[in-house]
Structure 1
Amino acid sequence: MSRPRSQAEYLARLVPPSVAGLNRRSLLAGAAGAGALLGTGLLAGCGSDSDSGAGSKTVSVGSNASDPTPKDVLAKLAAGFQSSSGVQATINTVDHNTFQENINNYLQGKPDDVFTWFAGYRMRFFAAKGLAGDVSDVWGKLSGYSDAFKKASTGDDGKQYFVPASYYPWAVFYRKSVWQQRGYQVPKTLDDFNALGAQMKKDGLNPIAFADKDGWPAMGTFDILNLRINGYQFHVDLMAGKEAWTSDKVKKVFDTWAGLLSLHQPDSLGRTWQEAAQSLQQKKSGMYLLGLFVAQQFNENEQDDIDFFTFPEIDSTIGAKALDAPIDGYMMARKPKSEANAKKLLEYIGGVDAANIMVKGDPGTLVANTGADTSGYTALKKKAAELVGSATEIAQFLDRDTRPDFASTVMIPALQQFIKDPKDISGLLTSIENQKKSIFTS
């Protein structure tokens, strides 16, 4: 559930779901415009045509799980699947960044039967382009998933194209010992939140730890404010280019954010998320809006001192049940060499046995299936799972819910400009809207 360590790594991880145009080098150089992204090479599916046929006992998996722990977990999933079904899953692992850079070419070529990917817009894009297979019948056999997880796995046509495996929620984290010492209470409304921040300032704390040197963390702040002020549907439509950034609804988000900036840790554009998390760990900041991976910056003996709350309600008619919780999982190629085996594998991955393997194999993973044995979860992980389970809608984070070229070349500099100088919100939103029109109509 780790996030990129630097802006360069973040940009390298962005996915090219559109057509030819910007390559990785031009992205890293800060190029923008109407072009989309094209990988620098080709990802070729390694399954052979000889694998096909009704009697096939193999299925191929294209995987971006190149880090040791997730790679080992996938190998254990493949072994478990073979043991239960008699079908051998051949895993073709490609470096995480390379996989994502070349996914568009990969899916248009000869992809593996099943491949690792992300829920939300990035899934819907390939489904709409006919580059992914319909797995609605697999979903008919699955249990243990909330409606929000199913919604995040559903394409624009109402069919399912994705099976969730793991996730990590975003929330407001704090140290219990600091709050107990100061007598702080979890805020229920934005007014409560502002009052709490003001008290923390008086107590000598940075109310909200904050960092945006790497470009992506501020996206989480925008997401949660937009979800709380305008609701889930408006948020995902805005990310998909269907709503105007110049609307009063979006302006209200930035106006609200501008009112909170004085509570944010200063000089955030020169700070990494790890450094901001360390200020929370060192009891110099009172709160931090981030993903569950914030716990990585705490010592083992401090893990029980971490707690969180979901960002408070702003509009009572909208509530506070929607959140960012990026979901990782699996999809099926549009024409798998062995569709029957591909669907068998997805059904297995979506089941309880696979979820239990993931729980035991990766201590940093929250599994999507609620039927898993999570008795080994820490109290923090158990609470995080309950939070996502109670969510009415799950957004995937800005850089997953929109086109990656728009996220990287428009939103990163725009949000950083806002943080640096929040005075000209109208001018900023006009610039975003103009660039959005250029990119989304290319």
Structure 2
Amino acid sequence: MAQSSSEHRISRRALLRGTAAGAGAVALPTLLTACGGPSKEVKIGSNASDAVPRKAFAEVFKAYEKKSDKGVKVNTVDHESFQENINRYLKGTPDDVFMWFAGYRMQFFAQQGLLADISDLWEDFDGFSGALKAQSTGKDGKQYFVPYYYYPWAVFYRKSVFEQHGYEIPKTFDEYRALAKRMDKDGLDAFAFGDKDGWPAMGTFDYLNMRANGYDFHISLMSGKESWTDPKVKNVFDLWRGLMPYHQKGANGRTWQEAAQSLAQKKSGMAVFGLPHPGQQFSDADRSDLDFFPFPEIDSAYGQDAVEAPIDGFLLSKKSKRQKEAKELLKYLATPAAEEKYLMRDPNNVAVHKEASTSSYNTLQKKAAELVSGAKQISQFMDRDTRPDFASQVMIRAIQQFINKPDDIDGLTKDIESQKKTIFAAS
């Protein structure tokens, strides 16, 4: 097991399959194992295996060790393995503290009794909004999560490419589609697109659904309360089908990193991504050329009100033998200083603490913060807003099937609805 200072990045196929393992999925080989041995050191399970966040977290934990005179030992595992094995990891011998996600993903493990209640810490937290507290609260009303940063999803592009061709930022879906056609004529793939890991394309579906049918319908659909054969849902897939000719071909065999690189290489014109995705693939020299715009309006009744902005943070394992020491670390991670230390090294996320300084923010971070602060509703992402087994066992395959064969929308939605009924009936 590799051990080092940590980092971040959310690979969803894993989080999907891993959480699904506790909901009826076939168990995978145990690749994720906690660091063993008695010690006063607080052990952290990290999914931060990419270079940028890994170094950033190393600085954070080093600062904590210096401040507290207490040790921290980081158990870093690559993204996919971490998420794929998270369920068995928590039921085995987990590290004291581990990195994970807010909302549904946190509640799933809280309901299984695998997380320690940290409501006592929240009594002294004063820099988090009510919305952040809600995303950190289990269905039993107790708090289990310390939020650390968030990052919005939007449509990313290179300013120089838009300037070179005279492209204008689209505000409506019709303008968006017209721009894609124009890019196609100019020899560009309008949309950089890679769905090999199964989750990246979910962001496009989420935005299409929220823009066409509104946030409330989207969340209700993710909760299993709406039918996937509803004409509203079929319309979402139909809107997406109209854009498919302008997406990179062979998306199911391309990683999100490769898609982001094609945007950096000016082979593609746009990409629906979260802030860290293109941010980590652009060189420092090109970073100032990266920009984004909100996903365009489809129905004026909903405008661009909703923003997809997942929240990441830390959880305390129920099985931890170092609860007191772990809570001391969590207290530190909930401070503005801890977030500031991280963001000085990773410019691809935004702090959640209201008192965290934004002085080190680059242009994109400032724009991202404005986008989220101005949102009327905030979603977490499909694989965080629905059941993990439904996301992993049904939606990954369904969306990849749609990418390969976008014309059979009736058959696709009928199949999704049938499986949804079975899965949600089991809850």
Kindly state the Cα deviation for residue 349 of structure 1 after the two structures are TM-superposed.
Answer: 0.5
Of 377, 396, 404, the match for 2:380: 396
2:19 counterpart SS class: coil
Query: For residues 390 and 145 of structure 1, what CA distance do their matches in structure 2 show?
Result: 17
Identity of aligned residues (%): 54
1:36 alignment partner in structure 2: 25
Q: CA deviation at 1:100?
A: 3.0
Partner of 2:419: 435
1:317 and 1:363 map into 2 onto residues whose CA distance is: 34
How far apart in 2 are the matches of 1:324 and 1:296? 19
Equivalent residue for 1:263? 246
Alpha-carbon distance in structure 1 between the residues aligned to 2:299 and 2:9: 31
Alignment of 1:289-328 (within 5 A): 289-292=272-275, 293-328=277-312
1:176 aligned to 2:159?
A: yes
Aligned to 1:141: 124
Match of 2:236 in 1: 253
How many aligned positions are there?
A: 416
User: How well do the aligned residues superpose, as a CA RMSD in angstroms?
Assistant: 3.2
Query: SS at the partner of 1:385?
Result: helix
- Flag structure 2 segments of 5+ consecutive residues without an equivalent: 1-7
Change (3 A) 1:227 1:149: farther
Answer whether contact 1:146 1:389 (CA < 8 A) is retained: no
| Partner-residue secondary structure (3-state), 2:99 | strand
| 1:177-204 deviation line (CA, Å, top 9, x unaligned) | 2223433332222233233334434544
User: What is the TM-score normalised by the length of structure 2?
Assistant: 0.83
Could you list the per-position Cα deviations for residues 381-436 of structure 1 after superposition, in whole angstroms to 9, with x for gaps in the alignment?
33223323333433332233334443333222211222222222121111112222
Q: How far apart, in 1, do the equivalents of 2:81 and 2:404 lie?
A: 33
Change (3 A) 1:98 1:211: closer
TM-score (norm 1): 0.81
Find out whether 1:91 has 2:73 as its counterpart. Answer: yes
Q: For residues 311-364 of structure 1, give each alpha carbon's deviation from its aligned partner in whole angstroms, at most 9, with x where no partner exists.
A: 022233333232233322101234654545443322220111111221234344
- The answer to whether the 8 A contact 1:46-1:92 is kept is no
Q: Residues 231, 333 of structure 1: CA spacing in aligned structure 2 closer, same or farther, 3 A cutoff?
A: farther
Match of 2:409 in 1: 425
Separation (CA, whole Å) in 1 of partners of 2:264 and 2:61: 38
**CA separation in 2, counterparts of 1:233 and 1:137?**
32
Q: Secondary structure at the match of 2:292?
A: strand
Question: Structure 1 118/282 Cα, relative in aligned 2: closer, same or farther at 3 Å?
Answer: same
Deviates most, 160-169 or 423-432: 160-169
Deviation at 1:288, TM superposition (A): 1.5
Q: Which moved more, 1:161-170 or 1:404-413?
A: 404-413
Paired letter, 2:337: D
Aligned-partner Cα distance in 2 for 1:95–1:296? 18
Q: 1:17 aligns with which of 16, 19, 22?
A: 19
Distance in 2 of aligned mates of 1:91 and 1:439: 39
For 2:352 and 2:323, how far apart are their aligned partners in 1? 24
Q: CA deviation at 1:274?
A: 3.8
Q: CA deviation at 1:44?
A: 4.9
Once structures 1 and 2 are overlaid, which stretch shifts more, 244-253 or 344-353?
244-253
CA distance in 1 between partners of 2:269 and 2:160 (Å): 11
* Deviation, structure 1 residue 3: 6.0
Whether the 8 Å contact between 1:281 and 1:297 is mirrored in structure 2 is yes
Note the alpha carbon deviations across 1:68-107, whole angstroms, 9 max, x for none: 6545544543443455456x35435152444433332343
Q: Deviations over 1:275-317 (max 9, x none)?
A: 4334433434322112222134434322211110010222333
**Which residue does the alignment assign to 1:30?**
none
CA distance in 2, matches of 1:206, 1:71: 32
Among candidates 175, 187, 197, match of residue 170 of structure 2:
187
Q: Could you say what secondary structure the match of 1:301 adopts?
A: coil
Mapping of residues 13-412 of structure 1, within 5 Å? 14-18=16-20, 35-41=24-30, 43-44=33-34, 46=36, 59-66=42-49, 70-85=53-68, 88-96=70-78, 97-109=80-92, 111-292=94-275, 293-334=277-318, 336-337=320-321, 339-412=323-396
